[in-house]
């Protein structure tokens, strides 16, 4: 079933509807993610239902953590579905899930280190001369232990 194109949206209208800025939309275009279906006589971008749907896809993917570069690849899969397998698509989400898990694990580590610091501190109104937080950040630090910290 082919839906009839009721009317086109101008960039400002689409941006408002999507809750993003006009500039972002143009930026997405410059990055090859989405372009207007056509232009009006005066050169204004005109977006059809199809573009609106595509923008939905983009924002949805963005929301669940894909970068614009990755979304561009996803859009390629989307467009040429028949040339790709479900496996391929699933591998993509799988990799992303592992990536996110890694980020979470890193943050959880940071958080627990911070929480121990935080809880050891009296938080009192006296001067920080003997503040345990500062002391811990300071003191028992050997450089060797640090290197492996960053991803």
Q: Does 55 bind DNA (CB under 7 A)?
A: no
Q: Which residues contact 93 (CB under 8 A, 6 or more apart)?
A: none
Smallest gap from Cβ 108 to a copy of itself, in A, equals: 7
* Residue 13 lies near DNA (rule: CB under 7 A): yes
50 binds, among DNA, a copy of itself, none (CB under 5 to 8 A by kind): none
Interacting stretch for DNA, rule CB under 7 A, among 62-70, 106-114, 124-132, 134-142? 62-70
Site residues (vs a copy of itself, CB under 8 A): 17-19, 53, 56-57, 59-61, 63-65, 74, 77-78, 81-90, 93-94, 96-97, 100-101, 103-104, 107-108, 110-111, 113-115, 117-118, 121-129, 131, 133-134, 137-138, 141-144, 146-147, 149-150
Q: Which of 34, 36, 61, 74 binds DNA (CB under 7 A)?
A: 36
Q: Total residues at the site for DNA (CB under 7 A)?
A: 24
Alpha carbons 78 and 45: distance in angstroms, whole number:
23
Beta bridge partners of 39: 45
**Residue 109, class by beta-carbon neighbours within 10 Å (0-12 exposed, 13-18 middle, 19+ buried)?**
exposed
Nearer to DNA (CB atom), residue 72 or residue 121: 72
CA distance 23 to 11: 9
3-state class of 32 per DSSP? coil
How far lies 95's CA from each of 38, 44, 57, 71, 89, in Å? 36, 39, 19, 14, 10
Q: Which residue among 69, 73, 81, 103 contacts DNA (CB under 7 A)?
A: 69
Which of 38, 67, 68, 65 lies closest to 51 in space, CA to CA?
38
Query: Which stretches of the chain bind DNA, using CB under 7 A?
Result: 10-13, 15, 20-24, 26-28, 36, 40-45, 62, 67-69
């Amino acid at each position: 079933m082919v839906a009839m194109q009721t009317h086109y949206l101008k960039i400002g209208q689409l941006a408002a509807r999507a809750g993003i800025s006009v500039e972002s939309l143009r930026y997405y275009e410059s990055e090859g993610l989405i372009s207007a279906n056509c232009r009006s006589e005066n050169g204004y971008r005109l977006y059809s239902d199809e573009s609106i749907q595509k923008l939905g896809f983009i924002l949805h993917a963005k929301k669940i953590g894909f970068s614009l570069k990755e979304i561009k690849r996803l859009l390629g899969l989307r467009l040429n579905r028949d040339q790709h397998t479900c496996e391929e698509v699933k591998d993509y989400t799988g990799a992303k899930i592992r990536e996110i898990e890694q980020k979470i694990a890193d943050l959880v580590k940071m958080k627990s280190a911070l929480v121990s610091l935080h809880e050891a501190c009296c938080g009192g109104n006296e001067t920080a001369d003997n503040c345990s937080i500062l002391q811990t950040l300071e003191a028992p630090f050997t450089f060797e232990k640090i290197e492996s910290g960053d991803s």
